[in-house]
């Protein structure tokens, strides 16, 4: 079991390094809070995929299930045509894993055609690799295709351009001392010059829902398309504060209405 633990810690560390590469802001925010004397814990990591027999939530979850994770709750996002599940480790100090998928059968024929062609490019060996969740893209990308996908689904265009890499990491706000109030933390992040997601208000959720969340807006990063290099949204940093259920346990699930707004943290600048 110790060995499984080591490989999980290694995978999570590799995912953090890959994520910081896509979101250099995250490391700067992490360092800023460290400099304030804070202890940083990771509440959850989010991954995105497409609902497809070869590639759905289950395919991405398998590696975590082998490493001691268990499936917990599922969530529906009808407007964005998304579905998600979250997984928890039996060691409560390990981050939760939140995996979402775009329900392709509800999207246009045009979108389905593009996505099934890129899925066909993924070698089965890549899918079997324990590091698939940071393997990136397995296909060539065209900027005009990216733009047309984004018209229909910002989510689809993000996965098309970025591939399989961590979408976000999340600071466990409960573990902070000076900034354990999400409002204060948000003010600190904004004062440091970072742009935050204001869709549905800065704070999504409430103590009544046992979860409050906020996030930065994903900063743009240069991505190489066949037509040249374009700047597009990469990854964002999330902040989650959890509250106790009537039974005294800290709520470990998610709130669909809040997550729905958090997904917009990778939307292109309007």
Question: Pairing state of beta strands 168-172 and 236-242?
Answer: parallel
CA dihedral defined by 44, 258, 147, 227, rounded to 10 degrees? -20
The answer to whether the CB of 85 falls within 8 A of the CB of 77 is no
Nearer to Ni ion, 88 or 238 (CB): 238
Nearer to Ni ion, 122 or 241 (CB): 241
Where in 61-120 is the site for Ni ion (CB under 5 A)?
A: none
Nearer to Ni ion, 127 or 203 (CB): 203
Structure tokens of 10? 């290694």
Q: How far is the CB of 44 from Ni ion (least distance, A)?
A: 6
The answer to whether the CB of 138 falls within 8 A of the CB of 126 is yes
Stretch that binds Ni ion, among 41-49, 75-83, 144-152, 228-236 (CB under 5 A): 41-49
Q: How far is the CB of 254 from Ni ion (least distance, A)?
A: 7
Q: How many residues bind Ni ion (CB under 5 A)?
A: 2
Q: How far is the CB of 57 from Ni ion (least distance, A)?
A: 15
Residue from 238, 260, 263, 266 binding Ni ion (CB under 5 A):
238
Told to check if 45 binds Ni ion by CB under 5 A, we report no
Nearer to Ni ion, 114 or 233 (CB): 233
Phi, psi of 123 (to 5 degrees): -70, 145
Where in 46-65 is the site for Ni ion (CB under 5 A)?
A: 46
Q: How far is the CB of 265 from Ni ion (least distance, A)?
A: 9
Nearer to Ni ion, 51 or 86 (CB): 86
Q: How far is the CB of 97 from Ni ion (least distance, A)?
A: 10
Q: Which residues bind Ni ion (CB under 5 A)?
A: 46, 238
């Amino acid at each position: 079991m110790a060995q499984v633990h080591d490989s999980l810690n290694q995978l999570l560390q590799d995912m953090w390094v890959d994520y910081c590469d896509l979101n250099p802001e995250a490391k700067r925010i992490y360092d800023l809070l460290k400099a304030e004397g804070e202890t940083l814990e990771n509440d959850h990591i989010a991954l995105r995929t497409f609902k497809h027999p070869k590639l759905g939530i289950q395919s991405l979850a398998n590696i975590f299930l082998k490493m001691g994770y268990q499936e917990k709750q599922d969530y529906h996002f009808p407007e964005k045509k998304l579905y998600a599940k979250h997984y928890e480790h039996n060691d409560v100090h390990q981050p939760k894993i939140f995996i979402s998928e775009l329900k392709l059968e509800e999207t246009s024929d045009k979108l389905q055609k593009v996505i099934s062609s890129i899925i066909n490019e993924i070698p089965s060996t890549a899918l079997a690799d324990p590091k698939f969740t940071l393997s990136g893209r397995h296909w060539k990308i065209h900027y005009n295709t990216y733009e047309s996908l984004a018209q229909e689904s910002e989510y689809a265009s993000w996965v098309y351009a970025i591939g399989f890499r961590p979408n976000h990491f999340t600071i466990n706000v409960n573990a902070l001392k000076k900034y354990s109030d999400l409002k204060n933390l948000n003010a600190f992040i904004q004062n440091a010059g970072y742009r935050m997601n204001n869709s549905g208000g800065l704070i999504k959720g409430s103590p009544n829902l046992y979860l409050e969340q906020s996030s930065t807006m994903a900063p743009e990063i240069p991505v190489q398309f066949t037509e040249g290099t374009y700047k597009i949204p990469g990854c964002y940093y999330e902040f989650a504060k959890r509250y106790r259920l009537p039974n005294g346990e800290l709520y470990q699930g998610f709130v669909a209405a809040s997550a729905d707004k958090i997904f917009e943290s990778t939307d292109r600048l309007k």
